[in-house]
Structure 1
Amino acid sequence: MIKTVSTTPYSDQKPGTSGLRKKVPVFQQENYAENFIQSIFDSLEDFAGQTLVIGGDGRYYNREVIQIAIKMAAANGFGQVLVGRGGILSTPAASNVIRKHKAFGGIILSASHNPGGPTEDFGIKYNIGNGGPAPEKITDAIFARSKVIDTYKIADAADINIDIEGTHTIEGTKITVIDPVADYAELMEELFDFAAIRAMFAGGFRVVFDAMSAVTGPYAKEILENRLGAPKGSVLNFMPLPDFGGHHPDPNLVHARALYEAMMADDAPDFGAASDGDGDRNLIIGRGIFVTPSDSLAMLAANAHLAPGYSKGLSGIARSMPTSGAADRVAEKLGIGMYETPTGWKFFGNLLDADKVTICGEESAGTGSNHVREKDGLWAVLLWLNVLAVRKESVLDIVREHWAAYGRNYYSRHDYEEVDSAAANGLIADLRARLADLPGKTFGGLTVEKADDFAYHDPIDKSVSEHQGIRILFAGGSRIVFRLSGTGTSGATLRVYIERFEPDAARHDIETQTALADLIAIADEIADIKGRTGRDAPSVIT
């Protein structure tokens, strides 16, 4: 039986860069999740009889909302629902399932790299038929609908056993519980030279992958250990846990500190990596060297032709605006297009669909390609392993050779987390008001060449996305970027990106924060960060 349930709208269901993210108790409010899911369905057209993919990162409240979403999909007329066994689907795997099975779209339950647990974070986002995050026109429609919604539809049915693969029926809708790993592993075998990587492992190459008790664990265990022959125990924390084992599943040098320290030791493995809560971010560390996400994007683009799936070359590269310009010089040398987009993977979708670009990346540890329409942490790890297997050099050697050829972008991100929202918004508003006066002024010996509020003009659909970050560009190639993040669930996160280009190989071994010290001081001077936020230092430096 299909029930139509009366409800009252909530005013706070505006999706951010990656869907709706709130604390678990917020989602546990009466009809809160139901309202948002129905608002998604009400904002879509012509899905009757179509396939919907549902899965998540295994965090707390994942299972409960999956049951709700299944019953609501059936009540709203979808013909089939594909759900990952145990409610598990990494974000890139979900994108692949949508694409492979020609689904209408998918609901992904995740708050990405944010902590999980009864009082921590939860999220819901909708991905469209190309496998990518819903564009702004859809998320805007969802938010508009959520503000006026008065009923939702749900099937009055028993919960589905999502722990066993098989098929069920609810109100004529076929519900199929699928192996969450199989389709993804098959795709990786098509893209990469598994034989070469397997031979490298057989020769004694040591890898350690920290899944951070999050969703990538089953994927990494199957691919790295079972299919590629990495020694048992190479994949750490591989069981997805509702609270991520108390970890903060963000693969950076703060939350993956143990991995970093292991890779800096004298007896370090050859290669270290980690992925985040929903599997779309990555951390790459070689023995004795951390590879920044911006550098990783550039180095993977420069070497992608060594993997079978990219042997014909790249059509172009795209990066988010705050990401360093390291990839730009790779694109220039290869003679291919380079695209600068706002933060948010959804902005890469049109470029990928139009075959303008093959590889994309964001400085926030996200890298991916045209194989899916999401960033993909394990994909980046496998491409690095493919490159290492073919070049037979260490990560450190590859990094140094790349810097020698292209120059080094010293780069760092300073995050001020859970800042008072009014203070953070005031800081950005003040910067925005002063943009016209900054060019020509000198700070700490550096002269501002250009200052703007980044706006993106999509070359495919001609849409315009404004207010995507304040850019201060200095003569000589240095820059500072200020923006507010859309991935947090409380207060505001002010992100400050600091970058200096150094072409001289003799100056490539300076400690990053030392190399950027003058720019860090200038950022505080221009924006009055301490005065406006009350913070003496960033919460996290990456």
Structure 2
Amino acid sequence: MIQTFATQPFDDQKPGTSGLRKKVRVFQQPHYAENFVQSVFDSLEGFEDQTLVVGGDGRYLNREVIQTVLKMAAANGFGRVLVGRGGILSTPAASHLIRSSGAFGGLVLSASHNPGGPDEDFGIKYNVSNGGPAPEKVTDAIHARTLAIDSYRFFEANDVDIDTLGSTTLGDMTVEVVDPVAGYAELMEKLFDFTAIRAMIADGFSLSFDSMSAVTGPYAVEIFEKRLGAPAGTVRNATPLTDFGHHHPDPNLVHARELYDRMMAPDAPDFGAASDGDGDRNLIIGRHCYVTPSDSLAVLAANAHLAPGYAAGLKGIARSMPTSGAADRVAEKLGIPLYETPTGWKFFGNLLDAGMATICGEESAGTGSDHVREKDGIWAVLLWLNILAVRRQSVAQIMAEHWATYGRNYYARHDYEAIAKDRADALMAALRDRLEALPSTTNSGGTVQSADDFAYSDPTDQSVSRNQGVRVLFEDGSRVVFRLSGTGTEGATLRVYIERYVGADGDLALETSEALAPLVKAAQEIADISGFTGMERPSVIT
């Protein structure tokens, strides 16, 4: 039976670049999740009798909200919902399922790399029919509706069995529980030379993949152990847990420290990797050789032609503005365009849909291609493995040859987390007020050449996105970027991106901290970070 329930708006349901993210306790408020889901549906047109994809990363509250979504989808007129068995769908797998099934769109239940559990984070993101995150015009419409909503529609019924493959009905709507892994794994086999990777592993190549007790466990076991023949146990923390085993499922050098230590040990495997809560981010570490996400993007782009799915070459490379310029030099050598976009995968989606770019990447460990419209952690690992299988060199050797060809972008990101929002906003406002005065001034980083607040004009639709981060560029080509992140659920996170370029004839073997020390000091001098935030050092350095 379809029922209509009266409700009142919440004033905190504005979705960001990755949907709506809040603490679990917030989502557990009466009507909170229902209001947002109904606002999504109310903002869409033409979905009657169409297909909706639903799944998530398995975090706390995932299964309960899926039941809510199913019943609301039935009440609002969808014809079919595809849901991953057990409520599981990695974000890239959800994107692929939307695209391969011709779905109208999908709801991805995840807070990505944020912690999970009853006192931690939850999120809901709407993806459109191309499989990518909703563009701003859609998220703006959703937000406007959340501020005016007065009722939602709900189909009263018992919960649907989402643990058994097959179809059932919910009123006039079909619910089809699908294997969350099979279709995605088959896509990977089409893109990469599994025969060559399998042979490399059979010859003794060793790898270690940390799923961080998050969604990629089932995908990694199926692909790395079953299809590529890596020994059982290659995939660690392979069972998705509602609290990620108390891990913070962010694949960086702080939260994936166990993997890093393993890869730096005397008996380290040849290759190590990790992925995050919903499977869209990646960490790459060779034996005794950490690869920054920015360098990883550049290496993957330079060598993508070695994989069957990219043998024809790349149409273009896209990177987010805070990502280092390493990929720019690859694009220049390949004679293809390089697009610098704001942070947020939806900006890449427009370029991918228009056939203007093939490979995209963000410094926050997100890399992907035109095979889906999300970043994809396992995809990045497989492309690395394909490259290693063809070149038969170590990760360290590949990185050394890359820097000898293109030069090296020494790079780090300093995160200052859980800052009071008014203080973070004041810091950014003060920076913007100083933009005109900064050029020609000197500080510990050298002489400032230019400073601006990055704005992006999308070449596919001419839309303009402003205030995307303050950039300070120095005369020697170094830069510092200041930006507030929208992925947290408490306070604000200030991200400071620090980059120094050294040409191929320069010193390519410096410690990153040593290479960047003057610029780190300059960032403090320019922005007075400690004065505004009260923090003497960053929460996380990656």
Deviations 1:19-41 (A, max 9, x none): 00000000000100000000000
The aligned runs of 1:214-225 (5 Å cut-off) are 214-225=214-225
User: 1:194 — aligned with what?
Assistant: 194
Query: What is aligned with 2:419?
Result: 419
Letter in 1 for 2:537: A
For residue 439 of structure 1, give the secondary structure of its aligned residue in structure 2: coil
Match of 2:211 in 1: 211
- Could you tell me which runs of 5 or more consecutive residues in structure 2 were left unpaired when the two chains were aligned: none
Closer, same or farther: CA 223–5 of 1 in aligned 2, 3 Å: same
What CA distance in whole angstroms lies between the structure 1 residues aligned with 2:108 and 2:328?
Answer: 32
Note if 1:305 corresponds to 2:305: yes
Counterpart residue type for residue 324 of structure 2? S
2: CA distance between counterparts of 1:102 and 1:474? 48
Residue 441 (structure 2) aligns with:
441
Q: Distance between the aligned counterparts of 1:342 and 1:11, measured in 2?
A: 26
Question: Displacement, 1:401?
Answer: 0.2
**Cα separation, 2, equivalents of 1:210 and 1:108:** 22
Distance (Å, rounded) in 1 between the aligned partners of 2:141 and 2:466: 18
2:166 aligned residue: 166
Q: Distance in 1 between matches of 2:475 and 2:2?
A: 64
Which whole-Å deviations, capped at 9, do the CAs of 1:119-143 have from their partners, x for residues lacking one?
1000000000000000000001100
- Answering whether residue 65 of structure 2 is matched by residue 65 of structure 1, we say yes
Over residues 32-69 of structure 1, what are the superposed CA-to-partner deviations in whole Å (9 max), with x where a residue is unaligned?
00000000000001011110000000000000000000
AA aligned opposite 2:6: S
Cα separation, 2, equivalents of 1:536 and 1:243: 31
How big is each residue's C-alpha offset from its partner over 1:171-230, in whole Å with a ceiling of 9 and x where there is no partner?
A: 210100000001100000000000000000000000000000000000000000000000
Aligned to 1:391: 391
TM-score (norm 1): 1.00
- The equivalences for 1:53-452 within 5 A come to 53-444=53-444, 446-452=446-452
TM-score by length of 2: 1.00
The answer (yes or no) to whether the contact 2:405–2:504 under 8 Å persists in 1 is no
Partner residue, 1:480: 480
Paired residues of 1:480 and 1:497 also in contact (CA < 8 A) = yes
Aligned pairs (5 A) from 1:480-499: 480-499=480-499
- Whether contact under 8 Å (2:406, 2:504) holds in the other structure is no
Task: Percent identity, please.
Answer: 72
Letter in 2 for 1:176: E
1:530 aligned onto 2:537: no
Query: Aligned partners of 1:242, 1:47: CA distance in 2, in Å?
Result: 31
Q: Which runs of 4+ in 1 moved over 2 A?
A: none
Whether the 8 Å CA contact 2:445–2:474 is kept in 1: the answer is no
Unaligned runs of 5+ in 1: none
Separation (CA, whole Å) in 1 of partners of 2:513 and 2:403? 18
Amino acid at match of 1:401: E
8 Å CA contact 1:403–1:505 kept in 2: the answer is: no
Letter in 1 for 2:66: I
CA distance in 1, matches of 2:406, 2:509: 15
CA contact (8 A) 2:345 2:375 kept: yes
CA distance in 2, matches of 1:219, 1:444: 47
Letter in 2 for 1:388: L
Mapped partners of 1:169, 1:354: distance in 2: 37
Distance 2:217 2:339 in 1: 33
TM-superposed deviation, 1:308: 0.2
Residue-pair matches, total:
542
| Structure-2 change in CA distance of 1:260 and 1:79 (3 Å) | same
In the TM superposition, what is the alpha-carbon distance from 1:445 to its structure 2 partner?
A: 5.7
* C-alpha RMSD of matched pairs (Å): 0.6
> How far off is 1:444 after superposition?
2.2
Alpha-carbon displacement from aligned partner over 1:128-169 (angstroms, at most 9, x marks no partner): 000000000000110000001000011011100101111011
